[in-house]
Structure 1
Amino acid sequence: MPYGMYISAEGAQAQQQRLEVIANNMANMETVGFKRDVPIFQARFAQAIQQQSDYPHSGTQNDVGGGVKIIDVETDFESKSLRQTDIPTDFTINGDGYFQVQAPDGNVFLTRAGNFTIDANGRLITQDEMPVLSTDGTEILIDNTRRWEIYPGGNIVQNGEWTEIGLAKPQSNGDLVKMGNNLFRPLAPVTPVVDGERDVRQGYLEQSGVNPTREMMAMIETSRAYEANTRMIQHQDNMISGLVNRLLSTRS
């Protein structure tokens, strides 16, 4: 493959991957507590260096750029906005920290999506029926037929009994891995959110971190970059076809 066509193909592939990330962001514009993904680009080495038949800065003809590639997809944890719902089982964390929920296999995951419900057994659960955990790691039980309320700091009070919603935070958001369904798996031990920093609000939800205008502009930009790369492939293909035809005509 001609080198120019190779670079254009790599560029088109990188833009296609970026489009997939943007499309996923846009599909979650209304998803509670969703955190947008951001693809990270990096200059790509030439094919010979990629195949380890040469090395960077060798000074040979292989020591040229190889286009771009996506090396990672990072999560943007900064975008936070609240929406008032006035639904008693909707909670949001105003500040740092995550709700702790338990998967069917026993693993504990973190989430910012507080659109909970109460099941037939009185458990406070997520939309995927995962129980929300208290500070001591047990399931939170609420008798929905009787009055209950939440006090500042995330304390659920019913019949004179207090249950503290389990809030935890990682040492760094870089320790979190997306697991789908708005869940994060911590790669390192997490720490409980201390009393002075606990701010749980009832009747509010954290909205999606996706800005529709920003994502649409990024999609237009990426589509144009993809089209530019595919046009370059077509131009180089036409050029090669023209050269081959000229060679054949001179021989005939």
Structure 2
Amino acid sequence: MPNSLYIGAAGMVAQQLSIDTIANNIANINTPGYKKARVSFRDVYYGGLERAGLSPQSDVQAYAGMGTVAIPLGKAFDQGQLKKTDASSDLAISGDGFVEVVLPDGSSGYVRSPVLQANRDGMLATSDGYVLHQQIAVPSEASALQIDATGRVSASLAGESTATELGQIELVRFINPSGLTPLGENLYGASDKAGDPLRGKPGDEGFGTLLQGYSEGSNVQLNDEMINMTITQHIFNLCAKVFQAGDDMESTVNSLFR
């Protein structure tokens, strides 16, 4: 069977994964805190070809590739646009870092732009119900919850003339955030590829600061994604033509023996 069939098929499979990735990025362009996914390509196995007139033992040899494969590169954690919402529950990170939360199985999850509120147990949690790693309790009579740039959480309590400090939000960062495992709901899980979590207060060296009343938008650039989609579709069509040419050659060869 002609190698062009395998090469064309491999190219179409790889480009289809790229198209799916781009489509998912575009679909999440309005998702707060969404980070665009990336795909790269690499060539695959090369086979040796014997040239006419040369013995198999000759050092002079030609090689032919067998197509390409798509390699997911994880997420790109470029800063998304910070949008002012004036909602005290909205929290954004300006710079590097994640807010750490506790998942139902007891493991840690990491989120970029959480919406915070007190859950039914009085603990500060995300709108999806994930309690912050710092276990900050919010009294039932608390009002006007305030979070400053360094992560200090305070609130006004009945009978108190000044705000009462409730706790401290810390941030977590990774050497290679692209290696984090996407869990959905804009949550990420740790992985060996991401490296060990590094913890610190917002504003410390290497860590971003917190912005209450802001939300981080998606970092997807529509123009870039549309250009990439157009290029990928053209390459997919070319791979399909390569496959069709290989199939026509195979049909021609088979007809010679009829």
SS in 2 for 1:64: strand
Instruction: Measure the CA separation in 1 of the matches of 2:254 and 2:106.
Output: 64
* Higher helix content, 1 or 2: 1
2:200 to 188, 193, 198: 193
Bigger fraction of residues in strand: 2
Give me the TM-score of the superposition, normalised by structure 2. 0.81
Against the structure 1 CA distance between its residues 162 and 30, is the aligned structure 2 distance closer, same or farther, given a 3 Å change threshold?
A: same
User: In 1, Cα distance between the equivalents of 2:111 and 2:150?
Assistant: 17
Equivalent in the alignment of 1:37: 37
Say if 1:154 and 1:77 are closer, same or farther in 2 by CA, change over 3 A.
Answer: same
Number of residue equivalences? 235
State whether structure 2 residue 182 is matched by structure 1 residue 178: yes
Secondary structure of 1:20 counterpart: helix
Alignment correspondent of 2:234: 224
- Which of 165, 169, 176 is 2:173 aligned to? 169
SS at match of 1:114: coil
Tell me what 1:53 maps to.
none
C-alpha distance in 1 between matches for 2:137 and 2:21: 35
Whether the aligned pair in 1 keeps the contact of 2:124 and 2:137 (CA below 8 Å) is yes
Q: Is the 8 A contact 1:99 1:166 kept in 2?
A: yes
Measured on the aligned residues, the alpha-carbon RMSD in Å equals 2.4
How far does the alpha carbon of each residue in 1:96-141 deviate from its partner, in whole angstroms, 9 at most, with x for none? 111011101111111102233433333332242211232xxx2453
- Residues 32, 115 of structure 1: 8 Å contact kept: no
Contact between 1:12 and 1:229, CA under 8 Å: does it hold in 2?
A: yes
Distance 1:224 1:231 in 2: 11
| Structure 1 residues 242 and 202, CA gap change in structure 2 (3 angstroms) | same
Q: 1:155 to 1:20 in 2, by over 3 A?
A: same
Opposite residue 200 of structure 2, the aligned amino acid is: V
Looking at structure 1, the residues matched to 3 and 231 of structure 2 have their Cα atoms a distance apart, in angstroms, of 25
Flag the 1:141–1:162 CA change in 2: closer, same or farther, 3 A: closer
Q: Offset of 1:70 from its aligned partner? A: 1.5
C-alpha contact (below 8 Å) 2:88/2:145 kept by paired residues: no
Cα separation, 1, equivalents of 2:238 and 2:114: 43
TM-score for the superposition, normalised by structure 1: 0.83
Listed one character per residue, the Cα deviations across residues 143-196 of structure 1 (whole Å, up to 9, x for unaligned) are 476333223312111242331113111233255232222122223432222454
**1:149 to 2:146 alignment:** yes
SS in structure 2 of the partner of residue 147 of structure 1: strand
Q: Secondary structure at the match of 2:188?
A: strand
165-174 vs 26-35, which moves further: 165-174
